[in-house]
Structure 1
């Protein structure tokens, strides 16, 4: 499946990526920001775009995801300290994603991750999905609004939307933004004050990131969930004191102990989610133990304390705040101070021009206003016009009284022309600047659009090349699978069963593979194996005793030993004929990161591809045993025995089976008589027959020399001596 994960870098995203890639799915990441500083190595492709970017439609069209997981409350791009603009961006980005998915021509499952934070009151009982959240702070309100948007978004048949609320998620943080309460504050107090204050009345249920990733994966793979809203909670309730004690234990170092101080302040606070519905429907199990995990987290945080707390303890002093305010005021006043200083020379020039033969008609104040209007715009033009008016009135008072200046209509005409010219020119300047700025923003926007399109195109080319390489060259490509499985056609019918185990070994990349043939209702005998480890269960097993394995393969499903049970293969699959199990394929040596759904599917496909050839060969062997005996005996005819022995010798030379060949000394006894007597000492997997020299031979399948000694003793007790033959010297 193609999985799209959204969110900034965090320990939670790491766990999700690891889980889905480990299970064989193709993971894409939408980081939610343009920086692109942090790159994930295990993802198929990473897109560094904001959620509200206009290219999201193109991204969705390029990926065509089967499932989208929106990290929501656990997106490191946002937090409870986010400002209003970031919260608005969060909401608009979510809506943009939903709209892009609704336009898709492919059915998509959208999973929104919320948290217990939207319940901001005190609750006595564990909260169920039906309980109404009560959020008050801006970020928690945005998370709650996101839930409602997602649940109301199912307006088309191609979009299935769900909400998962995780209860007090915790994990080992990568940086300060990953830290969540109450661990963050407790670790801070432990590092800086060597004392942790707790309220013993408060408690919560902690959910590890490993368990959360497992259950989100289970939900994403489910075919038809019964609900659209689920709670996921471990149910491991811990008081604040218990959590603080675990933190103190993890931070303890020699004589430096961390003390825990219990207090009973205020009302008790209990916010726990009930995961009853999820656990019942998906059979959820929670494996991580909070106490051990918290101790490891506390030790790690203390070791890297500077990474998490170096900026949090800094505070801006009062004097610095005053200086910052003065600096802002100074920046505002500087343009007006500059204007005032420039007014002085123009005032002096105007005074000198009065009565001058050459400059009397030159208006220096008008030049001054026009100069500032052209360069600085309307605001400074208005201020310069006010200064010029004051300077003009002041100069007129040299020869006239203030009353005369005020009554002179020429004064008002001059002031009017000064302000009109200044404001008009200033307006044109501001308008041109606004147009230039708008053009610059548009060019920048188009440039970003081109960069985004180029990034998407580059990503598409990379995806195309990777997929092309996988189809043509990869070991698991259809061509490669067909090439390996079709190699069985070159072998004789009696050899197919031996070489089928090699085919399975190549395709699932395991050097320890065994094939068991069902000999009767309860037992299976080893037919071929690629190594000693693959033979560890012995030549014959009662396969129903392996209850977990039998339960899966009897239902025609691949068994995966995820619990690493001792004595069980890591993977097993059955080969059926007409609803009857005929064979069991077991694989032992598989790396843990390859024990995935993809590997299980490969084993299943391999079994189907070799099924016809293997069953045909198995029936041939049974027919060979049943129809080509000396009449009235269990001794194979010479040609049949030579063919069978040759197949076993060839397989033995390639390490696929172990055989021992015994030559019997009959003395004066007839072959028919010996056959009837010795048949009682043979196992179901052993064969008797004659070769060209006329002697009677016994083929002991999957038997080494030490085990052959027991068979030889049984023959001797029946009156027949036998000797071990070197298979290389046997003439067929």
Structure 2
């Protein structure tokens, strides 16, 4: 099926996409999100338009979806901090999509709602029949969406409203942070405590379970109601939920019992859905919430900005102070390390073994290698200060400043420290640049992979379309090969039916060639196809016979009513065996392409007919009673069944005559009947031991004439109207 999902690309939608792809459906997405340079995986096409845009009509007409899922309450494209504008946009977008869906006059529309349409003031189990009572603007907007869908459903449209109870799931992106579990995780991360009440009971529904329930609605052939509530049916208190979050968090989190019980949660009854479709809950809040909190705790820095901001001054100052301390740590390390190097340098002066070691130079090199040019400069300044301070033990500061060796040493220190620090910074910059380049190329590779996946999917779809086209070789072979399932005596009957299906015509006839002049009608699919009669002198049909004799397809370009619109002959060892005739083809389809297709179909039918004839020829001696031309009961019964079944399907006409042989020798009667019958007629016995004559392409009127002719020749017979086989 083609399925259109309307909403943003959160974790809930990704689960739905994966589920639909697993079942082989083609998924499309309509979202108001701007293009971000990446594509949703496993999605056939993503449309970035406003839900109120007029081009939504064109999108739906190009997709022709069997199911449209409007995420509604779980669509994060709507920002409810600007309630008035968002509510108007929400209702307008939903109405626009609904009106365009109704214009298609096909498919099912699924609207996703939530428990927020109640905003409960008392804890109770709400059913689908209870009136909504939302107090928040968001809840009211979602409830209005439900009413809009219900009104359109009353007009006879296939619309389903699914109201889900406290949806929760994995927190992977900022779009997934508006659930009750996510809010508790934010509260624990920011405050180190969670406020919850033991008396407030709720029922949580995992996103994966919700996707399964929604999928059942998508594929259901029919449904009894417009509104269903989806719930896990497992009650849990907010206090227990808070403890599960606290256990999952890495930092110590305390749970404080709330004494003020002004707010009570609502629980939804999912009994209606369970009775009609059944439910199976695979995810349980008691175990899943702890895992969700653990993941959130490890990646809290990615989500903390997305959480509710309290705007307190000390929080902003704390963040700024943390940043300043982080930047000051290298300078503090530099100052601390300077002390031991200063002491080592003082001890080395005058030492016989260490006086030639420049500890200040080693100090500067250490920080140049570890931190780079900035800290190398700072450590060099500290080293110069320490050097000058040590020199002033024996000389005045003025003498130190005028000493040439002082400047040489300072230059040596700065040049070496700055050079090493510069090289370190360059190497770090190169690594960072390479890391960014690898990251960029990885994203490019992911994009190429997405494009390739999309291209492969398109290729497979187009390949399947080509194979499944009515005029594709795969489709032709698939349909013609179905003739192999029939008995040898039935093949030609159903060959007409196959030919009609492949050529797209209701009027098809198959004639069997009796001799070089005449052909007899074997099967036909309509009255029009029998218009030439049961027997034709095809050699006198000059326009058609000349073309067929050259083993070409005849096309009635002059629209001569005496001839079929198209015809083709099937040969066996240069002898014409069958003539396929077709009427009821539009003029624009009487082309060389159709002629070639008829040729291919003719060869495929020929293969089935040849196999059937060879089988019959191989059993020729076993089919007749020894020494007579009368068919054995088994062979004759199969033949009668084939003709009667074909007659019931309108593929041929036939009649069955009972021949009275009580006073006459059976062999003599058989010989007399053979002279009176046509080559296409049969004489045989059934299991009751009686003799019958099967008249092919004979209606009731013609059967009476044959009976009268038999009576004149002294053969007693009667038309067998009913026969139990």
User: TM over 0.5, yes or no?
Assistant: no
User: For the superposition of Structure 1 and Structure 2, which TM-score range results when normalised by the shorter chain?
Assistant: 0.3 to 0.5
TM-score (norm 1): 0.44
